[in-house]
Structure 1
Amino acid sequence: MSVDLWDGALIDAEIWHARAGDVAREFRYRTRYVALPVEALEADALPIRPDRAGLWRLRRRDHGARDGSALTGFIRGQLAEAGLADCVTTLVTMPRGLLHGFNPVSFWLARDTAGLRAVLAEVSNTYGESHLYLCRHPDNRVIERSDRLGGDKLFHVSPFLPRDGRYVFRFDTGPGRFGAWVDWIGADGEVRLSTSMAGPARPLTRASLRRAALRHPFQPLRVTGLIHWQAAKLFSRGIRYRAKPPQLDRTRSEAIETERKNV
């Protein structure tokens, strides 16, 4: 049976990063994400419930407006500004663990009966800051698996990359899988960093959620450790460390420009 992300799902994702240019570097690791239909989540109709205790938790103040307010109100407001108020939404995210919570990126998926219309990428850094990139076509037509949507990079993530250039996004929302690919294109027009998060989706039930949480209760802590370990490796190879600049006042932007297929 093929799993629809809009019904809720567990995603066994492989994370991949590949750096080019000043130094060639590649690493992979696995982690588990959940796909949560937002309206069902807010109605306490899913195995994981917002702001409830557990080995895996989801806190409203970790997402959206970050003030603990309703997630449905947040995403409806974001989509209404783009003329997509009639879409239904699913949040793809990594839950908080037993002792720690850190989620480098979450994806709010928006679709109607025709297909995927937009993806709001919610990017966070280890300094507690976040930025929203709304990925869509200018005319809001359906986003196909092969479409590549580009926009300016406006948020500091890695101390080993400048805050400039462009991102190019691509998505696969199943059924039965989830995939997100993001390339960073430097000021020279070349792809300098390629990243992906992709894997199969399986049903989200109380039993499957419990098993995953018991096996991986500390996964956000593990992800944070892996990020810092890779940073140490880059530093040891002489890559320039860049101090974090002040975050821009603009914390939401769009990726709506169709990019070349060979990017």
Structure 2
Amino acid sequence: MSASAPISPLVKGPLHLAGTTTHARRGAIQNAFRYGVDYVLIDPQSTRGPLLFSRNRWNLASVMDRNHGGAPKKGRGLDWAKEVFEHAGLAPQNLRILLLTQPSFLGYIFNPVSFWLAYDGATLRGVIAEVSNTFGDRHSYLCAEPEFAPITAKSCLSAQKIFHVSPFQEVAGDYRFTFDITETRIAIRIAHKNGSEGVIATLMGELHDLNNARLIKASLRRPFGAMRTVALIYWQALKLKLKGARYRRRPLPPEQEVS
């Protein structure tokens, strides 16, 4: 477990994660990649931030409620997350909920996965992994220990895969989520296993105060933001196709928003 302190409930300003994501496909056809990504960790109830970052309005970088908490572009933001946690048995009045997500850059947004983090004081009690695919669908997985015991870096939280993410993977098998989140660093690991096949995905990086200089550097280092993410997804899909991976048609998304 990390020696750093957990996220402080007193942290109010947005934080920047200049991190890396890795994907490694296991099985008969293997593929792996590693890319740089920019995430922000925000308090959805706060409007604080640098000049070039906005909540619910256009800017160089922004986070819009309509893009989170429900169907894409029809989200309800924090209210939705509170309802999900409350329905699961976590009283929202005792929680502080943070959102870890890729911001839009110049209005364009695509998030393969964002995370709603529910804290009781400095203790992480629950996580909603909000997963979106390139077909315009979304499904969320609620991750928690039994009886909402503290989630630590050693916790391994499971969920059945019921949502179509990649046309080169079956909607079958299980996920294993691990979250090592402190006030200085984030390390998230998602392992999908379906028999001898599977994918391991990670998101890792250091947390820093979000400021204008970091936003400008991010836009220069990784121009076009989320548009770049989509292009990289299609590039990896082409590589898998050329390696002989089987293409599967998109099934209907699950009826329930959260599992």
Normalising to structure 1: TM-score of the pair?
Answer: 0.87
Distance (Å, rounded) in 2 between the aligned partners of 1:2 and 1:249: 39
Q: Confirm whether residue 107 of structure 1 aligns to residue 123 of structure 2.
A: no
Q: Which moved more, 1:112-121 or 1:200-209?
A: 200-209
Match of 1:119 among 106, 123, 127: 127
Deviation at 1:51, TM superposition (A): 2.2
1:134 aligns with 2:134: no
Which amino acid is the alignment partner of residue 65 of structure 1? G
Q: Residue 256 of structure 1 corresponds to which residue in structure 2?
A: none
- The answer for the alignment partner of 2:48 in structure 1 is 45
CA distance, structure 2, for counterparts of residue 248 and residue 197 of structure 1: 26
Distance 1:211 1:28, change over 3 A: closer
Equivalent residue number for residue 83 of structure 1: 89
Cα RMSD (Å): 2.1
1:65 aligns with 2:73: no
Shift of 1:191: 5.8
1:60 to partner: Cα distance: 1.6
Q: Is the 8 A contact 1:55 1:217 kept in 2?
A: no
8 Å Cα contact 1:179/1:199 also seen in 2: yes
**Residues 1:72 and 1:117: Cα distance change in structure 2 (over 3 Å):** same
In structure 2, distance between residues paired with 1:62 and 1:14? 22
Q: Distance in 2 between matches of 1:25 and 1:70?
A: 36
| 1:5-24 aligned within 5 A | 6-7=11-12, 8-24=14-30
Contact kept, 8 Å, 2:61 with 2:105, in 1: the verdict is yes
Cα distance in 2 between the residues matched to 1:213 and 1:93: 16
Q: SS of the residue aligned with 1:139?
A: helix
> In 2, distance between residues paired with 1:23 and 1:36?
38
CA contact (8 A) 2:170 2:248 kept: yes
- Number of equivalenced pairs: 248
Q: Is the 8 A contact 1:183 1:191 kept in 2?
A: no
Which amino acid in 2 is paired with 1:45?
R
* Structure 1: stretches of 5+ with no match in the other structure: 254-263
Normalising by structure 2, report the TM-score.
0.89
